[in-house]
Amino acid sequence: MRKVPLAESLRIIAQGSLNWLVKRPIVVSFEVTDACTCYCKHCDHGGPRDTSHNMKPSDYRKYMEVLRPCVVQVSGGEPLMRDDLTEVVRNIKSESGLPFIILVSNWSEMTVERYQELRRAGVDEFCVSLDFPDERHDEFRGLPGLYRHLSEIMPKVSALGYDDVVLNNCITAANVEEINRCADKAAEWGVNINYSAYSPRRTGCKDYFLNTDDQKAILERGLKRLKERMNGTNWITNTVSTLDATQAYFNRGGAPSCKAGLRWLVVTSDGHLQPCSMQFKRYSLHEQGRMVEEFTQNNTCDQCYVSIRSYLDKSFPQLLRENVTEFFSFKKSSAFRSGNSAAPAN
Ligand SMILES: C[S@@+](CC[C@H](N)C(=O)[O-])C[C@H]1O[C@@H](n2cnc3c(N)ncnc32)[C@H](O)[C@@H]1O
Ligand code: SF4
Ligand code: SF4
């Protein structure tokens, strides 16, 4: 994964440190639409939705002025369904280069031209869902042809050389045996990969959670192999501590001490603040303080370990140490996918 340039790293760290102290969110996830092109088995967002109350691109500027996060996720639903997504991104990005913008998307509507346009508008990282390293991805996502589209566009985008695409593999009982094969696919396509964990909270379905000792042992073996393949590089973008915490989440059936609402929050498509995408208590833009008092300080929910949590549940020193040494450009750049680091799993 491309290292963040030094000047930008310093701006992100300065803004992040300030937000940590004054209890503003480090990361804001804008769900820019509830509609989606897919019907994923693990998600409650599938299919068309009423989009008439979606915020306009210019509304996002006001949210940025109040919340001032250093990292923004642009997500959904499927954000690429919005024809004005480039304008949304332009309104989120400030002249200083902040925030660091991550577009979280299934890429069904992505083209090489649109990728370049979104980069120019200010997207720093493209996070693309991949559940299986073959056509089972289409079946899981309810969208025929999606995997083929990904396998055609990924090498073309990778060849442009920006090194800003990260596959996101959400680990479920259905795909736990495939995590290293998904890494093989990332290496073949010339992109990076990140792992996150299934939460039953979205749909109420426990079948995709790792419920058996057998499934947990498969995960342990798979993660061990992934850690060997990381080998000091960052093409697998998780930290080792995050992979360990993912295993612990599945083993104990939850992850306590969630800081949703405080360290990060969600802005819904119609402009409400929510603690996270799976807690539907809604607040207005200027009510983050009330959300922290009412929700975060009393929150006992431990039902997910999604990426945003896995990065922000850490102590501030750990967060700084891991990000400074593993993502930002204070250290030697990684030998991306060199040597044996991306050797196929089997
Ligand atoms: C809600 S989607 C929105 C963006 C886009 N539609 C996509 O799929 O990438 C964001 C991420 O949440 C993940 N996700 C969906 N349902 C989940 C669940 N029940 N537990 C954990 N992650 C989930 C998806 O796999 C995806 O990587
Ligand atoms: S995971 Fe993403 S692509 Fe799948 S239904 Fe949910 S929002 Fe849509
Ligand atoms: S653990 Fe936290 S982020 Fe996850 S669903 Fe519960 S409140 Fe939301």
- Ligand 2 mean position to 255 CA, how many Å? 23
Distance CA(232)–CA(234), nearest Å, equals 7
20 part of a folded domain = yes
The closest residue, in CA terms, to atom 2 on ligand 3 is 258
What is the chain's mean pLDDT, rounded?
Answer: 91
Backbone angles phi, psi at 315, to 5 degrees: -70, 160
Predicted TM-score (pTM) of this structure: 0.93
Answer yes or no: is pLDDT of 193 > 50. Answer: yes
For residue range 42-77, list pLDDT tens digits in order.
999 999 999 999 999 999 999 999 999 999 999 999
316 part of a folded domain = yes
Distance CA(331)–CA(344), nearest Å, equals 27
CATH of the domain at 278: 3.20.20.70
For residue range 283-336, list pLDDT tens digits in order.
999 999 999 999 999 999 999 998 788 777 766 666 666 666 555 654 433 333
> What is the model's pLDDT at position 345?
36
Answer yes or no: is pLDDT of 340 > 60. Answer: no
127 part of a folded domain = yes
Q: Which residues of 133-163 are buried (b: 16+ CB within 10 A; e: fewer)?
A: beeebbbbbbbeebbebbbebbeebbeeeeb
> What is the model's pLDDT at position 338?
34
Atom of ligand 1 nearest to the CA of 45: 1
275 part of a folded domain = yes
For residue range 142-173, list pLDDT tens digits in order.
999 999 999 999 999 999 999 999 999 999 99
What band does 14 get if pLDDT is binned at 50, 70 and 90? confident
Higher pLDDT, 318 or 113: 113
Structural domain containing residue 82: 6-326
215 part of a folded domain = yes
291 part of a folded domain = yes
For residue range 126-148, list pLDDT tens digits in order.
999 999 999 999 999 999 999 99
Q: Is the CB of 33 under 6 A from ligand 1?
A: no
11 part of a folded domain = yes
Count how many domains the chain has.
1
121 part of a folded domain = yes
Backbone angles phi, psi at 266, to 5 degrees: -110, 140
What integer is the mean pLDDT of 70-92? 97
SS3 call for 74: strand
Answer yes or no: is pLDDT of 210 > 70. Answer: yes
Q: Is the CB of 42 under 6 A from ligand 1?
A: yes
